[in-house]
Amino acid sequence: MREQAREVVAGNVRAAARACRMVDDELPGHLELLKDLFPHTGRAWVVGVTGNPGAGKSTLTDRLIEALRARDAKVAVVAVDPTSPFSGGAILGDRIRMQRHAGDAKVFIRSLATRGALGGLSRSARDIVHVLDAWGADVVLVETVGVGQDELEVVRTAHTTLVVMAPGMGDDVQAIKAGILECADVFAVNKADREGADSTVRDLELMIALGGETVFGGSHSASHVGATLDQKARDGPRTGKWTPPIQKCVATKNQGVAELLTKLDEHHSWLESSEAGRARQAERLVMELQAMLRDVLGREARRSLSSEVVSLAARVARREVDPYSACEELVLRFRTTVPGEPKE
Amino acid sequence: MREQAREVVAGNVRAAARACRMVDDELPGHLELLKDLFPHTGRAWVVGVTGNPGAGKSTLTDRLIEALRARDAKVAVVAVDPTSPFSGGAILGDRIRMQRHAGDAKVFIRSLATRGALGGLSRSARDIVHVLDAWGADVVLVETVGVGQDELEVVRTAHTTLVVMAPGMGDDVQAIKAGILECADVFAVNKADREGADSTVRDLELMIALGGETVFGGSHSASHVGATLDQKARDGPRTGKWTPPIQKCVATKNQGVAELLTKLDEHHSWLESSEAGRARQAERLVMELQAMLRDVLGREARRSLSSEVVSLAARVARREVDPYSACEELVLRFRTTVPGEPKE
């Protein structure tokens, strides 16, 4: 075990692959391994890549790998796939496109399947990022297929989040999921040679200008937006706040990719050199620990209370007890039963 | 408080609206209200409506309301919206379309905004369904905007889940999210007058035929699929298993809607009259209670350990402790500290 951790830290690709599998499947010893590896983490820059299906995330990720390799950076990719058997083909196709980097010893690509359980995916992604960080990746790209809540959780574990949009994806406006604005550090408008790209950029600019303000019921005239943008520009240098830039690109033609990487780099520098950036990093760590705590609690409760849950559910079905009181009873039992056996 | 519950159970619309608001905002007394209402629940048929943005879910839901009202059913709709300020307009537009039922005392429409916190939305939806059930709804339609993990959780609280697809929505295959197949009871192929509708139906048939089998790496010839379908047909009557039917419709023209409702009814009957259906109901209740338990645990841990989490996160950042050990420490503290105050 200790030997395995040593091999990962030494940069052994096979050891890293084995470690990822162990962690993903939660095999015995995976927690010890993660604990061994953790002191060797903290060097990698973690970049999340998200956006709706069809925005061209995989192709863009592939181009980013290329651009990062041109700098001789050691790159790891965690590709988060849905389990849907039906989508296998299409997504494997994307993966295969990326696999042209497979012969490159400084590129490591790992696919993660989404699990049925809520939170299972983000747990796994978080742990695998730690493995790849310890393995010596300079950059870890975490790419998700969709933009569901679970994927947003995954993306929140990244230092820098790239949201990829494409024009003409049906109803763009509806397609912008809750939470995306809050987690986006850089926007890419991909397929920018298509009709509607400028309007997608304008929509994003408007959204960024309005920031957290709600649009519901408010009148947002052009002058209002202009004033908000001016205010942002004045605030920027003063508060050190980050305003997400937008980069148009055409991943298939490798256009705008270098510029996009520059914008991602700028965010990376901001994180490390500004007060606000460092505060953001600290906040991210708190969120990560909270998420881990919630996952562990959920798992332990499921394990230690499974028979109680089943019998209480039957009583709820018979209307003998309401589910709110049943839940309170379960929580109290969980909190007052000291776990008898060591974890893992 | 007791009075408010009585008014809801008596079918008072204003009381139900107030109760929904209380529950959604978790105002003081909301748990007592839910406990009071619960013995009066269990009568409503809860139908989840999900699918990708742009599939026409709102229009179809509107038509289903119409068809259900024609039977004089009392209908409640819980519409789950993302918080994105930017999507406000479009979705409000859909809601307004539905609001033509607003003058109808037997139709109750309630929008829910997605919350930042994972699980917040499914908690709220679950509780509001209980309120509307107690209010006397014969049918509660729960419509989600997207198909993220959180929305899947919402949909899993439904008795019958309708998944709405539309042809030509970009990459259909990628668009089928993980978990959809497992939770779909009936498929609607909406906008069936568009090109590609038959191919969407065929894709779905294939997916249903293959069921849980993984497509990865396997060769699925037509004869294989045929054999699987035959096997399903033979299994059906024997095991009482439900095979999701597919209904083509054009919601805007009100075509196929009556047939769709019949298929939904058939699933409802299957749930209530078959062994497998009843087992499924019991399983759903266990999952619901597990989800509630996880939510409550997460919330309590966040509340009672917030300062410990922040200080441990700082130590993790300095690499003084690894997050896995930090988490174990937090869980142990949570489980051995008996909550001092009674819960809300």
Average pLDDT over residues B66-73: 95
Is the pLDDT confidence value at B91 over 50?
Answer: no
Please write the tens of the pLDDT for every residue from B243-272: 999 999 999 999 999 999 999 999 999 999
pLDDT category at B119 given cuts 50, 70, 90 is: low
Average pLDDT over residues A82-95: 42
Of the candidates B240, B263, B200, the residue with the CA atom closest to the CA atom of residue B47: B263
Distance of CA A185 to the CA centre of its chain: 12
Is the pLDDT confidence value at B237 over 80?
Answer: no
Q: Which A positions 114-143 lie with beta carbon below 8 A of chain B?
A: 114, 116, 118-119, 121
Residue by residue, DSSP assigns B138-177 as SEEEEEESS-SHHHHHHHHTSSEEEEEE-TTSS-HHHHS-
pTM of this structure: 0.74
Please write the tens of the pLDDT for every residue from A8-23: 999 999 999 999 989 9
Is the pLDDT confidence value at A60 over 90?
Answer: yes
Q: Do B331 and A118 touch (CB under 8 A)?
A: no
Q: Do B335 and A335 touch (CB under 8 A)?
A: yes
Average pLDDT over residues A217-226: 42
**A222 lies within 8 A of chain B by CB:** no
Is the pLDDT confidence value at A172 over 70?
Answer: no
Is the pLDDT confidence value at B174 over 70?
Answer: no
> How far is A204 from chain B, CA to nearest CA, in Å?
9
Q: Do B150 and A148 touch (CB under 8 A)?
A: yes
pLDDT for res A156: 73
> How far is B319 from chain A, CA to nearest CA, in Å?
6
A277 vs A220 pLDDT, higher one: A277
Least confident of A30-39, A72-81, B96-105: B96-105
Query: Would you say B23 and B8 are in contact if contact means Cβ atoms under 8 Å apart?
Result: no
Please write the tens of the pLDDT for every residue from A100-153: 676 777 888 887 765 544 456 778 888 999 999 999 999 999 988 665 566 667
A287-291, A338-342, B90-94 — most confident range: A287-291
Please write the tens of the pLDDT for every residue from A308-325: 999 999 999 999 999 999
Report the percentage of chain B scoring pLDDT > 70: 74
pLDDT category at B18 given cuts 50, 70, 90 is: very high
pLDDT for res A47: 96
Least confident of A44-48, A245-249, B279-283: B279-283
B233 vs B124 pLDDT, higher one: B124
**B231 lies within 8 A of chain A by CB:** no
Q: What is the mean pLDDT of chain A?
A: 80
Q: What is the mean pLDDT of chain B?
A: 80
pLDDT category at B9 given cuts 50, 70, 90 is: very high
Average pLDDT over residues A255-281: 95
Least confident of A241-250, A307-316, B284-293: B284-293
Report the percentage of chain A scoring pLDDT > 70: 74
**B236 lies within 8 A of chain A by CB:** no
**A319 lies within 8 A of chain B by CB:** yes
Max Cα distance, chain A (Å): 66
Average pLDDT over residues B15-31: 91
Alpha-carbon distance of A216 to B258, in angstroms, equals: 35
Is the pLDDT confidence value at A48 over 90?
Answer: yes
Is the pLDDT confidence value at B323 over 60?
Answer: yes
Query: Would you say A135 and A125 are in contact if contact means Cβ atoms under 8 Å apart?
Result: no
Average pLDDT over residues A179-202: 87
B110 vs B236 pLDDT, higher one: B110
ipTM of the complex: 0.81
CB nearest A88 (choices: B83, B145, B215): B215
A113-122, A300-309, B269-278, B283-292 — most confident range: B269-278
Which positions in chain A touch B169 (Cβ < 8 Å)? Answer: 170
pLDDT for res A338: 65
Is the pLDDT confidence value at A222 over 50?
Answer: no
CB nearest B319 (choices: A42, A87, A328): A42
**B340 lies within 8 A of chain A by CB:** no
Q: H/E/C letters for each residue in chain A?
A: CHHHHHHHHCCCHHHHHHHHHHHHCCCCCHHHHHHHHHHHCCCCEEEEEECCCCCCHHHHHHHHHHHHHHCCCCEEEEEEECCCHHHHHHHHHHHHHHHHHCCCCCEEEEEEECCCCCCHHHHHHHHHHHHHHHHCCCEEEEEECCCCHHHHHHHHCCCEEEEEECCCCCCHHHHCCCCHHHHCCEEEECCCCCCCHHHHHHHHHHHHHHCCCCCCCCCCCHHHHHHHHHHHHHHHHHHCCCCCCEEECEHHHCECHHHHHHHHHHHHHHHHHCHHHHHHHHHHHHHHHHHHHHHHHHHHHHHHCHHHHHHHHHHHHCCCCCHHHHHHHHHHHHHHCCCCCCCC
pLDDT for res A91: 44
Q: What is the DSSP letter of B100?
A: G
Q: Do B286 and A335 touch (CB under 8 A)?
A: no
Average pLDDT over residues B169-198: 74
Alpha-carbon distance of B325 to A23, in angstroms, equals: 16
Average pLDDT over residues B80-89: 46
Which positions in chain B touch A174 (Cβ < 8 Å)? Answer: 53-54, 87, 90-91, 145
Is the pLDDT confidence value at A226 over 60?
Answer: no
> How far is B104 from chain A, CA to nearest CA, in Å?
25
> How far is A320 from chain B, CA to nearest CA, in Å?
8
Alpha-carbon distance of B32 to B40, in angstroms, equals: 14
pLDDT for res A227: 52
